[in-house]
Amino acid sequence: MLDIRFVRENIDQVNEAMKSRNFTWDSERFLQLDEDRRSAIAKEETLLAQRNAISKSIGQLMGEGKKEEAEAAKAEVAKLKEEIAYYSDLHDQAESELNKLILAVPNVPSDSTPVGKDETENPEVRRWGTPRTFDFDFKPHWDLGIDLGIIDFERAVKLAESRFVLLGGLGAKLERALINFMADTHTSRGYKEWWCPVMANAKTLTGTGQLPKFEEDLFKTTEGLYLIPTAEVQLTNIHSDEVLDVDQLPLKYCAFTPCFREEAGSAGRDTRGLIRLHQFDKVEMVKYAKPEESYDDLESMVADAENILQLLGLPYRVISLCTGDLGFSAAKTYDLEVWLPSYDAYKEISSCSNCEDFQARRANIKYKDPANFKGNRLVHTLNGSGLAVGRTMAAILENYQQEDGSIKVPDVLVPYMGGIEYIKPE
């Protein structure tokens, strides 16, 4: 959530930022609601001061035997209470409408975020690895999975519906191997691992920015809980409504969870295979950082995600998302895209973002640094995929396929696969 005072005092800058994000918002309504709220507060405070002064005088008047004046003062207090209630209601109404409006406004992009209209204008930062050249007719992962007997799409539809997947045999084992490998690698680099609920309440999802704007993308239970779209939701809110000590920062957390997304508006996109599912596994990274260090922490988080791909030997590239392609809560984002031969292109496998204090303000996450600052400051929150497991499996199947139809298991995964070096047809 943007700071209301910042928006008020920098309305032209915010308008320009929203324009660069292709986001339309009613800045005039914001200013009017803000003025209504502040005007009601000022009137309420003036009347409260008058009421308190008069109330204080009643006892004195009674003590001096001035009963009529005391009764008149009581009547004035009663009248002021009605006026205070009136302006208090105006204050609450304006504040409610203002909060509703500002909760739907995305973050202001960082100055280092490239300006662009959409994903076609995301600049490439770097590449790692060389896409493999095949001397045989390679197959897409959805055919490989079926041929190997490790992925069953048809029975997944029978059990649930489309955009779900059923893994069997070494497919299930490879999924577990990837999860454990990713979690172990991140914890070896200083991340504390958590095991999180896969359901979250509305307050938690509001803290990270999924609610209220993106409710249609979430699966909701009859009890009012939501299936989480990413472990970022839980990891970021672990310290909601808390004040951390500066010596704790940066905090580095990671967690594996299944993730659930409606994928509203994605009809017809990536309908085959493991790329776009309603349910998928992911290992997530989250950091709580000091504002002056958060962009260095973003770079190191990207390096942590890249490390997974490098250890797996998967070619990838890093792009910087432009303003028109930036996620709702992010001020700056790098996407990692892994090479998929079936697409003859790079596809997103990780997204690493610095949200600055946008989520911390919504979730009320602060830290104290009494040696350098008076009062408490909002932390900066960062999140990144480390990695999306299904897409990683797809990349391994395609990039490590052999001419005989088998899959060579990346060396770092062999211990997690119980020594199995090749996945062969069952």
- 184 conformational bin, left if phi > 0, alpha if psi -120 to 50, beta if neither: alpha
Q: How far apart are CA 81 and CA 111, in angstroms?
A: 49
Residue with tokens 């690493």: 352
CA torsion through residues 162, 164, 168, 171, sign: positive
Residue 379 — left, alpha, or beta (φ > 0 → left; ψ -120 to 50 → alpha)? Answer: beta
Residue 191 class from Cβ within 10 Å (0-12 exposed, 13-18 middle, 19+ buried)? buried
Phi, psi (degrees; rounded to nearest 5) at 183 = -65, -45
* CB within 8 Å of 263: residues ≥ 6 apart: 163, 217, 276, 277, 278
Tokens 């709580």 — which residue?
Answer: 288
- Give kind and range of the element (H or E) at residue 9: helix 4-9
Of all helices (H) and strands (E), which one includes residue 280? Answer: strand 279-289
How many Å apart are CA 288 and CA 354, to the nearest integer? 10
Q: CA torsion 302→305→307→311, rounded to 10°? A: -160
Instruction: List, by residue number, the catalytic residues.
Output: 261, 276, 348, 351, 391
Q: Which residues have a Cβ under 8 Å from the Cβ of 316 and sit 6 or more positions away?
A: 127, 128, 129, 306, 309, 336, 337, 338, 339, 346, 349
Q: Name residue 335's amino acid.
A: D
Angle at 102 between CA 22 and CA 34, to 5 degrees: 120
First to last CA, the chain: 52
**Residue 187 structure tokens:** 């914890």
Helix (H) or strand (E) holding 66: none
